[in-house]
């Protein structure tokens, strides 16, 4: 993607997206033909497939890999998920996302192929499905946006996009960071999301925003620690997208007025996992909590403790005020 009309890199998503959509996207490259000559074979040792051989046993259940798996995932999403994407994408208990991110990251499916298949499906769906396809296309453009942010502003790989925020006084503790990593914060939607990440190497996009914002704005832990942990765990870990998402959530990135956006983790759980299906899947100790009461186990403290679920490590309303004060101190030049 090129530069703005003023000859500068894009730093705001909306104008970047509008400019991106005005450009014709080339179709996917054709499959290569048969080689004209056969290369000689060289003796080589077979590589082990189990990482435990190298002393790094795999703790996660990984998705199917390879070009065929990528093509199958794209075909399945276009056939079953794309036309419902806008209404279902935020609910982790539903199969509402494309699951293409590991393949886009590994190169086992290309964005040109995705856009080509998407355009054909959109034409067949007609006006009724236009919003769903548009919302999904915007998610792909976010990925491109963060790639060009990293390319044009490489300092974001180690520091805040807006340099003033490098002076933020993060006060979160190592113990709080450890509880977040392990899914033991006492906030069910956060803990379920983190346990899912640790077990599968993947996390639903809505949950990525929730847990990132919780770490930075509830626990007041430097976002770079969470960014680094995600890259250690994610099978779709993309440096540009991961960094951009973390800085968006922490309020230190390209967003024009970001710092006062602070998710309430309880409200997020109630809204996007309303019957607690996803939460119960990853927090079996709370399986006995009925309906959406699972998102506030502290209202039944004896039952929660008997089940072995931890108390909240912080109070959201108090931490929200501390976070706002932390950012506001920079306005006064402190």
Catalytic residue selected from 142, 144, 198, 264: 142
CB-based burial label for 184 (10 Å; 0-12, 13-18, 19+): middle
Reading the block at residue 198, the tokens are: 């640790």
Asked about 223 being catalytic, the answer comes back as yes
Question: Is there a catalytic annotation at residue 248?
Answer: no
Asked about 170 being catalytic, the answer comes back as yes
Give 279's contacts (C-beta < 8 A, 6+ positions apart): 188, 189, 192, 269, 273, 286, 294, 295
282 labelled catalytic: no
Of the residues 138, 144, 198, 205, only one is catalytic, namely: 205
User: Which residue of the set 180, 202, 246, 248 is catalytic?
Assistant: 246
20 close to 1: Cβ distance less than 8 angstroms:
yes
Q: Is 142 a catalytic residue?
A: yes
Cα separation, 64 vs 121, whole angstroms = 24
DSSP 30-99: PPP---SSPPPP---PPPPS-GGGGT----S-PPP-SHHHHHHHHHHIIIIIGGGHHHHTT-TTS--S--
Active site residue 139: yes
Of 138, 139, 144, 285, which one is the catalytic site residue? Answer: 139
Q: Exactly one of 20, 180, 202, 223 is catalytic; which is it?
A: 223
Options 138, 170, 198, 285, the catalytic residue: 170
Taking the C-alpha atoms of residue 13 and residue 73, their distance in angstroms, rounded to an integer, is 27
Measured CA to CA, the distance from residue 309 to residue 303 in angstroms comes to: 9
Q: Which residues carry out catalysis? A: 139, 142, 170, 205, 223, 246
């Amino acid at each position: 993607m090129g530069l703005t009309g003023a000859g500068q890199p894009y730093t705001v998503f909306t104008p970047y997206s509008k400019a991106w959509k005005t450009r014709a996207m080339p179709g996917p490259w054709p499959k290569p033909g048969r080689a004209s000559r056969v290369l000689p074979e060289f003796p080589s040792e077979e590589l082990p497939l189990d990482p435990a051989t190298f002393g790094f046993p795999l703790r996660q259940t990984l998705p199917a890999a390879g070009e065929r798996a990528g093509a199958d995932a794209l075909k399945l999403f276009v056939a079953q998920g794309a036309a419902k994407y806008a209404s279902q994408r935020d609910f982790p208990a539903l199969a509402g996302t494309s699951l293409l991110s590991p393949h886009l990251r590994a190169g086992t499916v290309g964005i040109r192929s995705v856009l080509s298949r998407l355009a054909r499906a959109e034409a067949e769906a007609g006006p009724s499905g236009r919003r769903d396809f548009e919302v999904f296309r915007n998610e792909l453009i976010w990925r491109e946006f963060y790639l060009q942010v990293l390319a044009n502003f490489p300092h974001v790989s180690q520091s805040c996009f807006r340099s003033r925020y490098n002076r933020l006084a993060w006060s979160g503790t190592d113990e709080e960071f450890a509880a977040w990593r392990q899914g033991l914060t006492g906030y069910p939607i956060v803990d379920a999301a983190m346990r899912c990440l640790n077990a599968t190497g993947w996390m639903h996009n809505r949950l990525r925003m929730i847990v990132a914002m919780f770490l930075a704005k509830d626990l007041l832990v430097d976002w770079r620690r969470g960014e680094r942990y995600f890259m250690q765990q994610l099978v779709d870990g993309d440096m540009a997208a991961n960094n951009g998402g973390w800085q968006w959530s922490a309020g230190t990135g390209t967003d024009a007025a970001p710092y006062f956006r602070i998710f309430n983790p309880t409200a997020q759980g109630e809204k996007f996992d309303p019957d607690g299906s996803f939460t119960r899947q990853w927090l079996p100790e709370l399986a006995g909590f009925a309906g959406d009461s699972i998102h506030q186990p502290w209202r039944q403290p004896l039952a929660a403790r008997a089940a072995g679920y931890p108390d909240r490590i912080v109070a959201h309303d108090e931490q929200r005020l501390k976070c706002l004060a932390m950012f506001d101190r920079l306005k006064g030049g402190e």
